């Protein structure tokens, strides 16, 4: 209940700042461009693959790459949205408002998380409009689209909770942003080293955000991938609670 | 039950440094407690601990009958806290901000508008409700901070240096507000502006190097400050021997230029006797002033003699 109030405030505060609008606008522009390029490419290929058996449909040809690109873009953008969550409040000394109110630390963290997550979901909804516009001229594989949207939501949830944790650790938003970007990128590419030989790559691959994200994008909604994302989200929320509680304990 | 705050044996360490050492006191309803101390004495730390913003190393805090460490949520309901730097969201308007505070303090939705209106009116924020906090002057921002602390009508209001950086008129208004709040709530006020304590508080407490060195009512403090010396100015050199010979006089200091300071015992007032003696000895009494120790002096004495501390009854 209290978490919802904090989340609502956080959500509205995001929309007060020009940053959120800029992020929404720029993302929409870039993804729109990517979407159209992909559509162009598909139209060019369409006559050639039309005769093929088991030919990839527009969902595979347009939507899956679009969501893949969105994942990479969000890797850059999410740190900008999560950096201020706690760090800015700490810097402006406004945390004491929350600490003095009858609200527990977990409620503060959950509120912050859901506030920024709600914003990210708005973004997912806007992005989803692009594939849906294809319905004007053709049919879609809704199962696959749903898997893509789920993958996107889970990925952004993980980004948000990692960003929140790092923000809870720092007193400067920009430092939090850089550190979050580093952490996310690290988790994204951690399986690169393992690609060459399969033996050592196993563990690292399981740790990679990209690996699990791609699995879901392919339309394979498996418990492993879902569990991975839920674990990441949950773990970093718990860690954030501890980190914020350290403010109270201090040294 | 009228004891609003009970603090017992509070300790707080930062690493090896002990910021608060065995602090204990109580606050009753209707009291305005002035918390005095030099910078870095532990005022803010103590206040943060009472408000649950900082965990004590050891000790017990009971707010309105609820233990702060066991049930922080319940205890915080009875507290309103204005930290040294008001926790304001500058990108919000005053009304939006106060609405958020009201929600955080679990004021039911239907009573929120009224609570905001009352807090705004009490703090003189009537016509700035729609303005951005960022665009307000420092004085108004401070008032928004106070409004935030009283919006849920807490039993205890804790204000950390509420008049810092305000102009004299605003200071007077805030003091007025504090006195008014003291009628219905318990108030703890930290400051290093001494006259502020004399003007708005009923009790005073001096903290030095993390320890309480004085806890008294304002009346008690006034007595501490009462005169124990007289300042004499004479036309011709004073017969020091003769004045010194008087019963109540302890000593006489020659300040030069025919000025003398006569120390006497606290209880008696030998002014009349001294005047007669001086006049009789033909020195020509020009001026005689009873000296009062100012609060500053009491304060400096207290903080200087902190080494020779004895345990204070709390």
Q: Does A9 touch chain B (CB under 8 A)?
A: yes
A7 vs chain B: nearest CA distance in angstroms?
11
In this complex, the residue of A6, A96, A104 whose CB is nearest that of residue B87 is A96
Q: Which residue on chain A is closest to B146 by alpha carbon?
A: A97
Between chain A and chain B, the number of residue pairs with CB atoms below 8 A apart is 69
Instruction: Note the pLDDT tens digit of each residue in A180-233.
Output: 999 999 998 887 765 655 555 577 778 888 889 988 998 888 999 999 999 999
Q: Note whether A102 contacts B48, CB cutoff 8 Å.
A: no
- Evaluate the CA torsion angle B90, B94, B98, B99 in order and state its sign: negative
**Chosen from A16, A97, A99, A245 to mutate, greatest number of chain B CBs within 10 A:** A97
Percentage of chain B with pLDDT > 90?
A: 30
Higher pLDDT, A249 or B253: A249
At B183 the pLDDT is 86
Q: What is the mean pLDDT of residues B153-171?
A: 86
Which pair of tokens denotes residue B225? 């400050």
Instruction: Note the pLDDT tens digit of each residue in A163-185.
Output: 999 999 998 999 999 999 999 99
In this complex, the residue of A6, A17, A101 whose CB is nearest that of residue B105 is A101
Instruction: Note the pLDDT tens digit of each residue in A29-74.
Output: 999 999 999 999 988 888 888 777 777 778 888 889 999 999 999 9
pLDDT confidence of B313, banded at 50, 70, 90? very low
Only one residue has tokens 């912050």, namely A112
Residue B250 scores a pLDDT above 80: no
Instruction: Note the pLDDT tens digit of each residue in B79-112.
Output: 999 998 999 999 999 999 999 999 999 999 999 9
A window 67-126, beta carbon within 8 A of B = 92-104
Instruction: Note the pLDDT tens digit of each residue in A6-21.
Output: 999 999 999 988 989 9
Cα–Cα distance for residue pair B57/B12, rounded to 1 Å = 5
**Chosen from B89, B132, B154 to mutate, greatest number of chain A CBs within 10 A:** B89
Contacts of A250 in chain B (CB under 8 A): 14, 54-55
B52 vs chain A: nearest CA distance in angstroms?
6
Q: Where are the domains of chain B?
A: 3-224, 227-291
Select B3-224's CATH number: 3.40.50.720, 3.40.190.10, 3.10.129.10, 3.40.50.300.
Answer: 3.40.50.300
In this complex, the residue of B53, B74, B88 whose CB is nearest that of residue A100 is B53
Cα–Cα distance for residue pair A98/A2, rounded to 1 Å = 11
Cα–Cα distance for residue pair B9/B24, rounded to 1 Å = 5
Residue B290 scores a pLDDT above 50: yes
Q: Which residue on chain A is closest to B85 by alpha carbon?
A: A93
At B309 the pLDDT is 46
Phi-psi domain of B300 (left: phi exceeds 0; alpha: psi -120 through 50; beta: other): alpha
Select B227-291's CATH number: 3.40.50.720, 3.30.70.1340, 3.40.1160.10, 3.30.70.80.
Answer: 3.30.70.1340
Report how many domains make up chain A: 1
**Chosen from A96, A107, A245, A251 to mutate, greatest number of chain B CBs within 10 A:** A96
Contacts of B134 in chain A (CB under 8 A): none
Cα–Cα distance for residue pair A93/A89, rounded to 1 Å = 6
Question: Among B10, B90, B86, which Cα is nearest to B55's?
Answer: B10
Q: At what angle do helices A173-189 and A209-217 cross, to 10 degrees?
A: 60
At A153 the three-state DSSP class reads helix
Contacts of A16 in chain B (CB under 8 A): 91-92
Residue B279 scores a pLDDT above 90: no
Instruction: Note the pLDDT tens digit of each residue in B295-306.
Output: 677 777 777 665
Instruction: Note the pLDDT tens digit of each residue in B177-196.
Output: 888 888 888 999 988 777 77
Contacts of B53 in chain A (CB under 8 A): 96, 99-100, 248
The answer to whether A85 and A190 have CB atoms below 8 angstroms apart is no
Using alpha carbons only, give the angle B119, B121, B123 rounded to the nearest 5 degrees. 70
Give the count of beta carbons closer than 10 Å to the beta carbon of residue B70. 10
Give the count of beta carbons closer than 10 Å to the beta carbon of residue B84. 17
Instruction: Note the pLDDT tens digit of each residue in B220-244.
Output: 777 766 666 777 777 777 767 777 7
Residue B268 scores a pLDDT above 80: no
Do the strands B186-191 and B203-208 form a parallel or antiparallel pair, or are they unpaired? unpaired
At B1 the pLDDT is 52
At A25 the pLDDT is 94
| Average pLDDT over all residues of chain A | 89
Cα–Cα distance for residue pair B279/B276, rounded to 1 Å = 5
Where do the DSSP E strands lie in B118-242? 156-160, 186-191, 203-208, 211-217, 229-234
At B170 the pLDDT is 81
Helix, strand, coil percent content, chain B, rounded in steps of 5: 35, 30, 35
Instruction: From residue B184, give the alpha-carbon distance in Å to each of A135, B4, B177, B198.
Output: 66, 12, 12, 20
At A198 the pLDDT is 57
At B30 the pLDDT is 85
At A196 the pLDDT is 54
Q: Note whether B77 contacts A102, CB cutoff 8 Å.
A: yes
B88 vs chain A: nearest CA distance in angstroms?
6
Cα–Cα distance for residue pair B156/B10, rounded to 1 Å = 19
Contacts of B87 in chain A (CB under 8 A): 92-97
The answer to whether B34 and B189 have CB atoms below 8 angstroms apart is yes
Cα–Cα distance for residue pair B187/B122, rounded to 1 Å = 16
Collect all residues from B whose CB is shorter than 8 A from any CB in A. Answer: 14-15, 48, 51-55, 72-74, 76-77, 79-81, 83, 85, 87-92, 100-101, 103-106, 148
Q: Note whether A94 contacts B72, CB cutoff 8 Å.
A: no
Instruction: Note the pLDDT tens digit of each residue in A21-30.
Output: 999 999 999 9
A171 vs chain B: nearest CA distance in angstroms?
15
Residue B307 scores a pLDDT above 60: no
Which pair of tokens denotes residue B58? 């050891």
Q: What is the mean pLDDT of residues B267-271?
A: 69
B276-306 burial string, b = 16+ CB within 10 Å, else e?
ebbeebebebeebeeeebebeebbeebbeee
Q: Domain residues for A207?
A: 2-192+201-249
Instruction: Note the pLDDT tens digit of each residue in A85-100.
Output: 999 999 999 999 999 9
At B123 the pLDDT is 86
Question: Among A81, A245, A39, A62, which Cα is nearest to A167's?
Answer: A81
Q: Note whether B51 contacts A99, CB cutoff 8 Å.
A: yes
Q: Does A249 touch chain B (CB under 8 A)?
A: yes
The answer to whether A250 and B54 have CB atoms below 8 angstroms apart is yes
B198 vs chain A: nearest CA distance in angstroms?
28
Going across the sheet that includes B17-28, the strands are B17-28, B3-14, B58-63, B66-67
């Amino acid at each position: 209940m209290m978490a919802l109030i904090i989340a609502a405030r956080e959500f509205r505060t995001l929309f007060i700042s020009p940053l959120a609008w800029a992020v929404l606008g720029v993302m929409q522009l870039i993804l729109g461009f990517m979407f159209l390029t992909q559509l162009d490419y598909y139209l060019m290929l369409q006559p050639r693959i039309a005769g093929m058996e088991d030919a990839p449909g527009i969902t595979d040809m347009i939507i899956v790459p679009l969501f893949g690109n969105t994942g990479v873009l969000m890797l850059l953008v999410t740190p900008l949205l999560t950096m201020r969550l706690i760090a800015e409040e700490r810097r402006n000394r406004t945390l004491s408002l929350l600490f003095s109110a009858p609200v527990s630390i977990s409620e503060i963290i959950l509120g912050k998380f859901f506030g920024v997550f709600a914003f990210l979901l708005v973004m997912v909804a806007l992005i989803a409009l692009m594939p849906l516009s294809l319905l004007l001229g053709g049919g879609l594989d809704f199962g696959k689209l749903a898997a893509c949207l789920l993958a996107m939501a889970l990925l952004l949830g993980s980004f948000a909770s990692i960003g929140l944790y790092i923000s809870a650790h720092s007193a400067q938003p920009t430092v939090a942003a850089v550190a979050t970007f580093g952490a996310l990128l690290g988790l994204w590419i951690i399986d690169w080293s393992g690609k060459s030989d399969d033996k050592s790559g196993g563990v690292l691959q399981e740790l990679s955000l990209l690996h699990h994200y791609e699995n879901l994008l392919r339309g394979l909604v498996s418990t492993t991938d879902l569990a991975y994302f839920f674990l990441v989200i949950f773990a970093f929320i718990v860690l954030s609670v501890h980190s914020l509680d350290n403010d109270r304990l201090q040294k | 039950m009228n004891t609003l705050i009970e603090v017992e044996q509070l300790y707080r360490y930062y690493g090896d440094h002990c910021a608060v050492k065995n602090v204990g006191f109580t606050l009753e309803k209707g009291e305005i407690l002035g918390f005095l101390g030099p910078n870095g004495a532990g005022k803010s730390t103590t206040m943060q601990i009472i408000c649950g913003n900082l965990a004590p190393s050891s000790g017990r805090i009971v707010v309105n009958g609820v233990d702060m460490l066991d049930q922080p949520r319940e205890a915080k309901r009875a507290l309103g806290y204005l930290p040294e730097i008001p926790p304001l969201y500058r990108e919000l308007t005053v009304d939006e901000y106060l609405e958020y505070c009201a929600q955080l303090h679990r004021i039911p939705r239907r009573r929120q508008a009224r609570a905001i209106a009352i807090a705004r009116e009490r703090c003189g924020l009537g016509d700035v409700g729609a303005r951005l906090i960022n665009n307000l002057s420092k004085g108004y921002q401070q008032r928004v901070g106070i409004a935030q602390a009283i919006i849920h009508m807490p039993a205890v209001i804790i204000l950390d240096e509420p008049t810092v950086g305000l102009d004299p008129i605003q200071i007077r208004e805030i003091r007025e507000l504090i006195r008014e709040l003291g009628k219905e709530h318990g108030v703890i006020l930290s400051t290093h502006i001494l006259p502020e304590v004399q003007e708005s508080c009923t009790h005073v407490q001096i903290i030095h190097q993390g320890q309480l060195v004085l806890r008294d009512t304002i009346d008690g403090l006034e007595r501490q400050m009462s005169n124990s010396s007289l300042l004499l100015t004479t036309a011709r050199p004073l017969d020091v021997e003769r004045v010194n010979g008087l019963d109540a006089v302890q000593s006489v200091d020659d300040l030069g230029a025919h000025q003398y300071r006569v120390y006497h015992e606290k209880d008696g007032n030998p002014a009349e006797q001294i005047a007669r003696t001086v006049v009789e000895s033909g020195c020509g009494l020009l001026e005689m002033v009873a000296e009062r120790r100012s609060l500053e002096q009491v304060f400096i004495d207290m903080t200087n003699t902190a080494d020779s501390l004895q345990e204070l009854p709390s």
